[in-house]
Amino acid sequence: MLVVKGAKIYPVLGTTLERGMMIINDQGRIHAIGENLPVENGDRVLDVTGKVIIPGLIDAHSHVGMWGDGEGRPGYDGNESVRPITGEVRALDAVNPRQMSFAAAREGGITTVQIVPGSGNPIGGLGFACKTQGTVIDEMVVKHPTGLKGALGENPKRAHGHGQKQAPATRMATASMIREYFREARTYGEQKDKAREEGRPFRTDLNLESGLLVLRKEIPFRVHAHRHDDIVTAIRICEEFDIHYSIEHCTDGHLIADYLGKKGITAMVGPGLSAASKVETKDLSDENPAILARHGVDVCLMTDHPFLNCRYFLHYAAIAHKYGLPFEETLKSITINPARALGIEDRVGSLEVGKDADFLVLGGEPFSYKGAILQTYIEGQRVWEREVY
């Protein structure tokens, strides 16, 4: 057993412990959390008196391990944008756990991450959730798949219409191709069911299998959308097919927050702190997370690493807090909200008995510059510690 003591603990779910203790078992799970817990002989003790503990952060949308940080082109595997519909590709097959971006994630306090394919394709492939420590990706996986990536707006148009003179060249075509994909997947599912009933052999189509998972509500459709009308289009299509979905980026969400609140959507908001690099992001606002949350949107922050360097995820949260996202809501937006949105809240997202002992030791209050991350723990193991330069 490992006993962590002396710190103020924000468990996220449950009350804040001023002089909190956690007992962590040898399987890396939280055995007990509270104040004045009994310590037995033989327990290792981590005394972090005066420090602050929060759960390990969950980055709701990232490209760690697949964008080639510091490696140039050979390490880049983000977008299979040679054709627009690629439901068959999986981020899981492209992620290099030894890539330096994983160390960056641990430094940034990110212990769990959803990794998704890029946004060059209207249908981009499957994403998954994993821990950020390890060398074999299959051993790091928390859940696979966690969603099917889709994309609206400028990126698919640029990758295909402008780059290769093929559809989609307009927002209209992007929407129609997504619709056509789900229609095909629906027909495919019906034929598959029928074949099974009749005991006939059936040829598996990996591209449409992913769409079928979405249609059967086993995974959500995760739609990249920045501009307000792209967000509205995403919702329109998802309602037509009666599927679960999240809006990825949701940059203009603050312009249509009433509508999004009424729809009760989940939004993965970010990358924070970024520049308005495209026309479709010209109205980006640091107030976006606060405005969305105020209108009832389920807000999960995300780095979209490398577009916000994931080392600075907690700083993005601090800025969201500065611009009006309440303290508790801000903490939730980087822990339990994304855990729930990814369907992994039984393991991560808060510090509770039975959950993984993924936590951060901070030098002070979260969202203060004195609250730098000093140590990152995954399943009771220290996986990163601040170096003194």
Partner 1 sequence: MLGIRDVTIVTMQNGTMTKGDVLLADGRIKAYGEAVDLAGCERIIEGRGRVLTPGLIDAHTHLGLSESGVGREGTDTNESTHPLTPYLSVRDGINMQDQAFESFRRAGITTVGILPGSGNILGGTGLALKCRGDIVDDVVLKDPIGMKAALGENPKGLYGERKQSPATRMGNAALLRSALLRAKDYLNKGEDHPRDPQSEALIPVLKREIPLIIHVHRHDDITTAIRIANEFGVKCHLAHVTDGYMVTDVLKRGGVYCGVGPTMHYPSKVENKERDFRTAVVLDRENIPFCLFTDHPVVDGRNLVLTASIATQWGLSDESALAAITVWAARYLGVENRVGSIAVDMDADLVLWSGNPLELTTFVDMTIIDGEIVYQRGMQPC
Residues of this chain that bind partner 1 (CB under 8 A) = 67, 69-72, 100-101, 104, 273-279, 281-283, 286, 305-306, 309-312, 315, 318-319, 321-322, 363, 367-369, 372, 386, 388-389
* Element spanning 224, H or E: strand 221-225
**DSSP state for residue 119 in the 8-state scheme:** S
- Cα 140-141-146 angle, rounded to 5 deg: 155
Smaller CB separation from partner 1, 172 or 279 = 279
Is 193 in a helix, a strand, or coil?
helix
Cβ nearer to partner 1, comparing 313 with 377: 313
Sign of the dihedral through C-alpha 247, 248, 253, 256: negative
Strands 110-115 and 44-47: unpaired
Q: How far is the CB of 100 from partner 1 (least distance, A)?
A: 7
In whole angstroms, the minimum distance from the beta carbon of 377 to partner 1 comes to: 19
Q: Note the Cα 79 to chain centre separation in Å.
A: 18
Task: Return the number of the residue (170 or 368) whose C-beta is nearest partner 1.
Answer: 368
Q: Are 381 and 133 in contact (CB under 8 A)?
A: yes
**Least Å distance between CB 62 and partner 1?**
11
- Whichever of 226 and 332 has its CB closer to partner 1, that residue is 226
Q: Please identify which residue in the block is written with the tokens 């903490």.
A: 331
- Compute, in degrees rounded to 10, the torsion defined by CA atoms 281, 267, 179, 150: 70
If the CB atoms of residues 101 and 233 are measured against partner 1, the closer one turns out to be: 101
Spatial neighbors of 382 by CB under 8 A, at least 6 apart, are 375, 376
What is the nearest approach in angstroms of partner 1 to the Cβ of residue 71? 6
Closest to 126 measured CA to CA, from 145, 142, 112, 113? 145
Q: How far is the CB of 162 from partner 1 (least distance, A)?
A: 10
| Residue whose CB is less far from partner 1, 221 or 313 | 313
Q: Which residue has the tokens 């995974």?
A: 219
CB of 389 to partner 1, least distance (A): 4
Question: Could you give the 3-state DSSP secondary structure of residue 183?
Answer: helix
Choice between 247 and 310, CB closer to partner 1: 310
Give the Cα separation of 44 and 52 in Å (integer): 19
Nearer to partner 1, 51 or 311 (CB): 311
Distance CA 320, CA 330 (A): 7
Structure-block tokens of residue 229: 């009308």
The structure tokens listed for 209 are 């299998």
CB of 89: closest distance to partner 1 in angstroms? 23
Half-sphere exposure of 56 (CA within 13 A, CB side): 31
* 324, two tokens: 């009006």
Q: How far is the CB of 358 from partner 1 (least distance, A)?
A: 21
- Return phi, psi of residue 81, to 5°: -95, 45
Q: Report the nearest approach of partner 1 to the CB of residue 294 (Å).
A: 18
Compare residues 67 and 181 and give the one whose CB is closer to partner 1: 67
Largest CA distance in the chain: 70
Nearest distance in Å: CB 311, partner 1: 8
Please identify, using beta-carbon distances, which residue of 157 and 160 lies nearer to partner 1: 157
